[in-house]
Amino acid sequence: MENYRIFDSELDKLAHKVKLMCSQVNHQVNDVILALNTNDLVLAKKVIANDEYINNLDVKIDKLCQKIFALQQPVASDLRYIISALKINNDLERIGDHAVSIAKRIEPLQEYEQLIQELGLELIGEKTKNIFSDVVELVNGHNLEFAEQITIKAQEIKEECREIASTMLTEMMHQSEIVVVAANILIIINLFERISGYSTNIAESISFVVNGEIIKHKK
């Protein structure tokens, strides 16, 4: 019953681009975490520069989805895949932006390595890398076991980020001289939390592709 369609080559092209986007954003996330952990300003600048490639790819994926919608009138699993590709692309692009935002905040954190270590920022970074490697697996293979893992891990990251934020706020009240650096740390924490949030969105989108059920906002 299987039959090759011209449409399939368009879908293959789209799947290839989404996987490429995912892998590029994965590099950005890994690099920015490494740059943060090692105070590597050169690597931070590289992350900022690479964003343009991701933005271009984002537009290409959008255009390809538009073209498929307009010319192929996709239905059923094809329709679900293209809707999800658009959303996943959007989420990945936002994660890429967040990596850039973190990269831009590494310089003001110089000289505060000890504080960063004490707060456990490195651990959050590792967990974010870990959740994103699940995202890559999920996007490449549509194995929903990774989707479950992502949801669990995102919740953990969220809780830990909130804990760090609360510690930070207490410190700020006692040491006014750290307010500037603390504000940057709070922003970075928030960005990590957002990255894990977008990872959850991607997990939900892939679940929609596979099962056809919208699971977001369901607890």
Partner 1 sequence: MIVEKIHTENMFLYYSGKMALNNISIQIPEKKVTAFIGPSGCGKSTFLRSLNRMNDLIDGVKIEGKVMIDSVNIYDKNIDVVNLRKKVGMVFQKSNPFAKSIYENIAYGPKINGINNKHQLDEIVETALKNAAIWDEVKDRLGDSALGLSGGQQQRLCIARTLAVNPEIVLMDEPASALDPLSTAKIEELIVQLKEHYTIVIVTHNMQQAARISDNTAFFYLGELIEYDKTRKIFTNPEKKQTEDYITGRFG
Which chain residues interact with partner 1 by CB under 8 A? 1-3, 5, 7, 73-80, 212-213
Nearer to partner 1, 74 or 96 (CB): 74
Structure tokens belonging to residue 202: 């991607």
Neighbouring residues of 43: CB distance < 8 A, sequence distance ≥ 6: 31, 32, 34, 35
Cα separation, 122 vs 173, whole angstroms: 23
* Tokens encoding 195: 């990255």
Closest CB to partner 1 among residues 7, 53: 7
Contacts of 151 (CB under 8 A, 6+ apart): 200, 203
81 within 8 A of 205, measured Cβ to Cβ? no
Q: Which is nearer to partner 1, 74 or 125 (CB)?
A: 74
Q: How far is the CB of 73 from partner 1 (least distance, A)?
A: 6
Task: Specify the residue, 8 or 145, whose C-beta has the smaller distance to partner 1.
Answer: 8
Q: Output the smallest distance, CB 151 to partner 1, in A.
A: 21
Question: Can you tell me whether residue 212 is helix, strand or coil?
Answer: coil
Q: How far is the CB of 68 from partner 1 (least distance, A)?
A: 12
Distance CA 154, CA 131 (A): 7
| Nearer CB in complex with partner 1: 4/111 | 4
Residue 200 Cβ vs partner 1, minimum distance, rounded to whole Å = 22
To partner 1, the closest distance from the beta carbon of 9 in angstroms equals: 13
